[in-house]
Structure formats: C-alpha cells, structure tokens
Amino acid sequence: MKKLFKIIAWILGAVVILFVASIAYVQLAFPNVSAAEEVSIEYSPERIERGAYLANHVTVCMDCHSTRDFSVFSGPPIPSTLGKGGDRFDHSMGFPGVFYAKNITPFGISDYTDGELYRLITTGVTNDGRAMFPLMPYTYYGRMDPEDIFDIIAYIRSLPSIESDIPDSEADFPVNIILKTIPHDAQPSKRPDPSDQVAYGGYLLNAAGCMECHTQADPQGMIIPELALSGGRSFQMPGGTVNSSNITPDPETGIGNWNEAAFVARFKQYVDSGYVAPKVAPGEFNSIMPWIMYAGMKEDDLKAIYAYLKTVKPIKNEVVRFTTAAE
C-alpha cells in the first residue's frame, strides 16, 4: 500500500511540476509577436480626416475610449471626453476580469512611437510587451489595410490632450495566462475597391467589429465562430440585460426580410435633423449599440455592409432584445 501511495505522490508531483512549468513557459515565451517596426506617419489633413471618419463611425474607437452618456438612448459619447478612456468592463457585464479602456489622447499615448501604436492596435501588445484582453478587437484590426490604421493613428494624435488616471486591467485566472497566447502578428489586407461591394462590405464589417458583439461568447469571453453574427450576446445595462440582434439573413429571426433601403434607414434615422436622443431611465430599454456613431457612416458604406451580410450563412436564433432585472 505504501508503494502505491508513493506512486500516486510521484504522479501528482509530476503533474504539478508540468503545470507550473507550462505556466512559466507561457509567461516567458508569450506574447509571441514581432518587434514594432519603424514607422513614420505623415499627419496630413487628409489622413486626419479619414482617421476621424473611421474612429468615430466605422471602427468606433471613441465608443469605448470616451465617456458615454447612458442617460439617453444608445449612450452617445460626451464630446468633451473623446479619447480620455475610463470605460470599465467587469464581471457584472460577463467579462472574466476587470478591464479599462485606456486614454488614447496625446496624454495617454505620448510614450508610443507610430510603429508601437500600429503594433498595439493590430496585435494587442503594448510597448512594454503586455498582452491586452481582446476587448478592443485587435484581431480584426490586424486584418485591416495598414493605411487605414495609419489614418486612425494620425487622428488620435490630433485629439486635444486630456489628463486622466486609468487603472490597469486585471484578468481572472486562467484567462490572465490564456490571453498571452492570443496575440499574433498582423495579417493586413488591402482595402477592396468600393466597386466590389460585397468584398468592400466584408472589409468594413471586419473593421467595425460587428462579429464581436453580434456573436455569443464562451465563458472565457471568446466568441463562438459557429454562431457568427446570429446575435444573443448579453450585455448588462442599468436595470436589465440587452442582447445583441441576429444580423444573419435568416428570414424569421434575422434580417432576411430587410431590403437595402430599410437597412440603411435603420442607421440614418439617428442623424436626421429632427432626431433627439430620448432620455432612458434605469430599468428601461437602452442599447449598447452605438447607433448614433454608426449613423455617421457613409450611405455607400452601409449599403456595402448590407450586401455582404446577405451572403453570410443564415442562422435561426430568436433573440429577446431586453429583459429587466426583475424578470
């Protein structure tokens, strides 16, 4: 019997040693991305203008990196806070840890070179080698045309500098180990010609990170590819839970019965001269979807996204849009 106990003890010891060694290896070997390249971006008015369009209406960087006013519908960013960061994402919202959006005004990024910013945006690795939780969808940005990323960098460099003290993010175990293995070198693509509407729409949908919110996630916060764009990802709001919509072309539970005009109008209603964002009290339906920001997207760009969505796999998934905390 003693011999059996010794064997079991040796096996358990070996398992512990292997486990500790594996963690040590991940800590030392990851994130495994290339060094930041030497990049010098010309901060031309054209770049800044294009970057402003992308950051505010396509990639919507200002959505998380500003203070959103959720006392009104869709939580539009408060203009005086653009880029200051501070948005908190934690367990109450289903995240495996506590994560903060950083300050991306010149105050927060002054110690980054252009090359380091490009690597950060496209791989999720900071200039001191830390891996970020992919709350910022860097895996999507890493597939964008570098020129678009350069435009965004030019724009955020042009923002008024706002001082803010943002806490460091803290992921729970074992996610704090796993997230180190997620970053990989960017796999950039050339922005398709808008005349190829479906390809261009797919490019814009990737840039907008639609997949991230409109797809259910596993307990570690990673989306489930088999359920792409079928909605149902839950987000905690004051007084209730909002669930993302099914945007596959399923005719019963998705957008299969929408035509192009209806799709575009769904966005553009929020920039109509007569629109005033309604006040929303805690417990009433609100949306985490930044409708007012996406409403500033060019009509042709929205039409391209619609054209692409009509080509994806239809998935039947009936989504309950909102449930109050009492339900």
Give the pLDDT score at 256: 97
Flag whether pLDDT at 293 surpasses 70: yes
pLDDT of 30 higher than 90? no
What is the model's pTM? Answer: 0.90
Of the listed ranges 13-27, 164-178, 191-205, 236-250, the least confidently predicted one is 13-27
- For 113-126, b where at least 16 C-beta lie within 10 A, e where not — what string? bbbbbbbbbbbbbe
Q: What is the pLDDT of residue 13?
A: 58
Count of CB atoms within 10 A of residue 100's CB?
A: 18
What is the rounded average pLDDT of the residues 255-283? Answer: 93
pLDDT of residue 25: 43
- Averaged pLDDT for residues 27-40: 78
Q: Which residue has the higher pLDDT, 220 or 139?
A: 139
Q: Is it the case that residue 26 has pLDDT exceeding 70?
A: no
73 in Cβ contact with 277 (< 8 Å): yes
Structure tokens at 288: 């985490």
> Can you tell me the distance from the alpha carbon of 133 to that of 117, in angstroms, rounded to the nearest whole number?
16
Q: What helix, strand, coil percent values describe the chain, rounded to 5?
A: 40, 10, 50
